[in-house]
Amino acid sequence: MSLVNKPAPRFTAGAVINGEEIVDGFSLEQYIGKKYVIFYFYPKDFTFVCPTEILAFQEKLAEFEKRDAIVVGCSTDTEETHLAWLNTPKDQGGIQGVTYPIVADTAKTIATNFGILGGEYDYDEEGNLIFNGAPIALRATFLIDKEGIIRHETVNNFPLGRNVDETLRLLDAQRHVEKYGEVCPAGWSEGKEAMQESRESVASYLSKL
């Protein structure tokens, strides 16, 4: 079920911040009332598609910060594994240079509560606990507003990398909606015409296509 227009699930977990420091008790609640949050999940450390996405968010980090937004990554790996990967140079497959927080969801409860764990627990015929699917996070991205409400979510299967520019565009759209009370049509980007929620406004916009 979609979490859009619902409060983001709360959690407290270990994380690596500033690319070098392990902290306990990291939470998104520290940003409520202050910042937008781009909270995204990736499947595994030391893999192939994941570093391209993690580094793409880092490359655009200043753009998110200009828009009053924080980027936070998360996977089901441990804090220690995150830190080891953050200390690995890019030319060796690492993500050295990433500065935004990366959360360790070792209990898999965060991914479960956000509805993006790649499978589910079950019991076999002998009553043994088993897992059907992959016990790691799918490629999911959540745009959370300053009140802690999820305004957008996308979920990709493991092989499909996401588009960070699209995440920026959606953040721009959310900010525009909040500031001007307008709605954003297909393909809208910052600087383009938006619409009022009225037949006249829609008709005027469509007549220009």
Give DSSP secondary structure letters for 13-38: EEEEETTTEEEEEE-GGGGTTT-EEE
CB distance 82 to 95 below 8 Å: no
pLDDT value at position 207? 84
Task: Say what the pTM is.
Answer: 0.95
16 closest CA partner among 83, 72, 73: 83
DSSP string, 94-117: --TT--S-EEE-TTSHHHHHTT-E
pLDDT value at position 27? 98
pLDDT value at position 62? 98
Joined together, the tokens standing for residue 176 give 């525009």
51 closest CA partner among 15, 94, 84, 82: 94
Q: What CATH fold (topology level) applies to the domain 13-162?
A: Glutaredoxin (3.40.30)
Spans of all domains in the chain:
13-162, 163-209
CB distance 52 to 43 below 8 Å: no
pLDDT value at position 206? 82
Instruction: Write the single-letter amino acid at 113.
Output: N
Among all residues, which ones are annotated catalytic? Answer: 50
pLDDT value at position 197? 86
What are the pLDDT tens digits along the chain (209 aa)?
899 999 999 999 999 999 999 999 999 999 999 999 999 999 999 999 999 999 999 999 999 999 999 999 999 999 999 999 999 999 999 999 999 999 999 999 999 999 999 999 999 999 999 999 999 999 999 999 999 999 999 999 999 999 999 999 999 999 999 999 999 999 999 999 999 988 888 778 888 88
On the 0-12 / 13-18 / 19+ scale of CB atoms within 10 A, 102 is buried
SS3 label, residue 132: strand
pLDDT value at position 198? 85
CB distance 4 to 144 below 8 Å: no
User: Which residues have C-beta within 8 Å of that of residue 206, sequence separation ≥ 6?
Assistant: none
Phi, psi for residue 177 in degrees, rounded to 5? -60, -45
pLDDT value at position 200? 82
pLDDT value at position 184? 94
pLDDT value at position 21? 97
Joined together, the tokens standing for residue 153 give 């979510």
pLDDT value at position 78? 98
Instruction: Write the single-letter amino acid at 157.
Output: N
Joined together, the tokens standing for residue 105 give 């969801």
